[in-house]
Amino acid sequence: MADVGDLIPTDHPIVETYRGGPPAVDGRCVLLWVQRAKRATANRAANLAILAADMLGLPVVAAFCLVPDYPAATLRAYTFMAEGLRELPEAFAARNVGWVLRVSRPEVEIPALTAEFGAALVVTDQDTLPLGRAWRTGVAAALDVPLVAVDTDTVAPPHLFPREEHAAHTLRPKLWRAIAAGGFLDPIADPAAAVVSGLSAVRTGPDPLAALETFAIDRAVWPSPTVRGGRAEARRRLEAFLDSRADGYATGGRHKPEPAAQSGLSPFFHYGQVGPVEVARAAIGRRLGEAGWVGPRGFARFGPEPAVADEPLATFLDELVTQRELAVNFALRNPAFDRYEGLPEWGRATLEAHAADPRPVRYDGRTIEFGETGDRLWNAAQRQLVFEGYLPNRLRMYWAKQLLLWTVSPQEAFDLALRLNDRYQLDGRDPNGYAGIAWSIGGRHDRPFPPKKPVLGLIRPMGLKGMRQKFDLDAYIARVEALTGEPVPGTEPPLPSRRQGALALG
Ligand SMILES: Cc1cc2nc3c(=O)[nH]c(=O)nc-3n(C[C@H](O)[C@H](O)[C@H](O)COP(=O)(O)OP(=O)(O)OC[C@H]3O[C@@H](n4cnc5c(N)ncnc54)[C@H](O)[C@@H]3O)c2cc1C
């Protein structure tokens, strides 16, 4: 075999070659390095590893490195991930793939496993964020066999969109045309590896949940009492959503916290326990039949089927595919995606022009983190976040925007939102979070909203009045009180003085 490209289509946009060259001639297996996509099925990286192994007449071994010191990780985040990892030995066995879990860093362990198992080549998944990409570069530098990364985190491969997109409306047509042309929404099959040997039967490594006990991590953020990790739970949530809540998704249900019309799948996406293609296919299949195809609002015409009017489905796909892949584009193409400097120029300019505006009230970090501000709705959201690690979309927007009103500077509001989001959200440290915070605080992917308001300038306001129109705040607060077993303090958000005029509360 002259080159890895003879086994794996390295010129396909879902494949990125970190190290090329010929596979090892005396290889004894293909190593599948599982990193972002922590699932055995609906996984394009696993499929290409199996395909290459079948061509070489070799078995496949999947390996995961449980990094003991992931930056700023919490017991909550690790527990959710470990619950999903526990399912993997059996799930890979169903595809005739071996399984190894090691507590170590990938740059050390993947080259070591390659040598130990005699891997002819290594196949992995893709990661958008810098740390994951640095791991791949580090592993490639330490290997003497090929390393290819296969995108299975998005529907359309991000490499098709090399520039930073301005907003959803600029990405949407290109994205859905690419999806239709490339067949990227076609179902992902789960073939078993053809070659079964002793290596396919390998099952080694500690129990991932037990392994956490020795990690020096932030244990003050306890495991979510309501959201359990793992693919089985993700599929259960998906089915429940499609059974009973999907109908209301487009008609405002999505904005309500109770009963939530959202799927609740974002943590499972973040840990790669489900993938967007399988979720989109499940939703399309349920509403239109297996052969159905639909794009988001107005874009069905790019698909192979005639346009289908299914507003809930179109809206869901627009969030799951367009908005999610817009966030991936932002994290990949904007080097300041997780910094205040990543806000658009007009957003920073308007915030800075209003930086000296008097704030209605200032709170210190502790008051904010403990949900003890004067704003009862905000406190309820913060307490739900701290308690269970999840918030519905609309509350996330309100939650982030309010911080602008209570901090000294927009930079401080941005940094605080990011820190709290990443610390407590089960789906934190995700491109969606970076894009969501940049949207809420600085207008990224949004537009200016005249007239100017104190503090916010031209940033889109979102106040209590608007929230009250969307859902029953009292019922929501009562639900948080029942969840946490504690009364939520506060009253209405502090009203602006007459002199300040209408602060962004309406
Ligand atoms: C301030 C703020 C912070 C946010 N932080 C995060 C975060 O840390 N992690 C995170 O995954 N999302 C974040 N979001 C985006 C969005 O709120 C969540 O993805 C969504 O609410 C998750 O709930 P769900 O899975 O029930 O979504 P559903 O409505 O059921 O949607 C299905 C999937 O579509 C995707 N999606 C939905 N809405 C958006 C959106 N607005 N942008 C991008 N993708 C979307 C998600 O992958 C989601 O799981 C944030 C939004 C804001 C405004």
Cβ–ligand 1 distance for 391 under 6 Å, the answer no
Predicted pLDDT of residue 227: 96
CA 425 to ligand 1 center in whole angstroms = 11
In the structure encoding, which two tokens stand for residue 498, read together? 């007459």
Give pLDDT, residue 287. 83
CA of 428 to the centre of ligand 1 (A): 10
Spatial separation of the C-alpha atoms in residues 485 and 343, rounded to whole Å: 38
Residue 426, Cα to own-chain centre: how many angstroms? Answer: 10
Choice from 238, 319, 384, 390 to test ligand 1 binding pocket (greatest atom count within 8 A of CB): 319
Q: What pLDDT does 292 receive? A: 66
Instruction: Please state, in angstroms and rounded to a whole number, the distance separating the CA atoms of residues 199 and 29.
Output: 8
CA proximity to 64, closest of 112, 29, 115, 99: 99
Q: Whose CA is nearest to atom 42 of ligand 1?
A: 323
Coil, strand or helix at 387: helix
63, 293, 412, 439 from 417: Cα distances, Å:
35, 38, 9, 12
Nearest CA to ligand 1 atom 4: 433
- DSSP β-ladder status, 97-102 and 147-150: unpaired
The domains found in the chain, sorted by start residue, are 4-163+196-208 (3.40.50.620), 340-500 (1.10.579.10)
Looking at residue 468, its pLDDT comes to: 85
| Residue 121 β-bridge partners | 30
What pLDDT score does 495 carry? Answer: 43
Contact, 38 vs 273, CB < 8 A? yes
What pLDDT score does 308 carry? 55
433 lines ligand 1 (CB under 6 A): yes
| Distance from residue 450's CA to the centre of ligand 1 (Å) | 26
Mean pLDDT, the chain cut into blocks of 10 residues (506 residues total): 91 97 97 98 98 97 96 95 98 98 97 98 98 98 98 97 97 91 92 96 97 95 97 95 80 62 94 97 85 58 54 88 97 98 98 96 96 96 96 94 97 98 98 98 98 97 87 90 95 47 28
Cα distances (angstroms) measured from residue 84 to each of 32, 62, 81, 90, 234 = 17, 15, 5, 12, 10
0.85 exceeded by pTM: yes
- Name the pairing type of β-strands 97-102 and 119-125: unpaired
